[in-house]
Amino acid sequence: MSQTLTTKTPTIHFPAVRKAREALKEKAHELLQEYLVALRMAAASGEYEAALRGYQWLLDHVPAEDGQRLIDRSVDKDAIDPGSPRGPQIQIGIRLGGVQEPKALPEVI
């Protein structure tokens, strides 16, 4: 039985991005506490939909640690394929010459 070992390629960031990420990591606990206070205030003031959306966002974005998530990702979200490109996708349509336009469907009576 053969095993396939996968190695994680190192991520290279610009120095300013690296510095910003480190600063954010240092303030992460404080930011989480402020976020939770804001959600509680929204619920206390009767803005239940806003509070629910905030809690849902928080649950969807809880980071995974060692590949294990505290809560499974939402079933509504598409699974992230590790082999797929991560950048923006640009779709380009091409129109060929000499090809007739598709015929429209007849109107519904």
* pLDDT score recorded for residue 80: 67
Enumerate the domain spans of the chain: 15-60
Residues pairing with 65 in the sheet: 68
- Is residue 20 within 8 Å of 36, Cβ to Cβ? no
* pLDDT score recorded for residue 75: 62
In whole angstroms, give the CA distance from residue 31 to residue 34. Answer: 5
* pLDDT score recorded for residue 61: 76
* pLDDT score recorded for residue 2: 46
- Tokens matching residue 74: 């939402």
Q: C-alpha angle with apex 46: 43 to 52, nearest 5 degrees? A: 45
pLDDT less than 50: residues of the chain = 1-2
* pLDDT score recorded for residue 6: 53
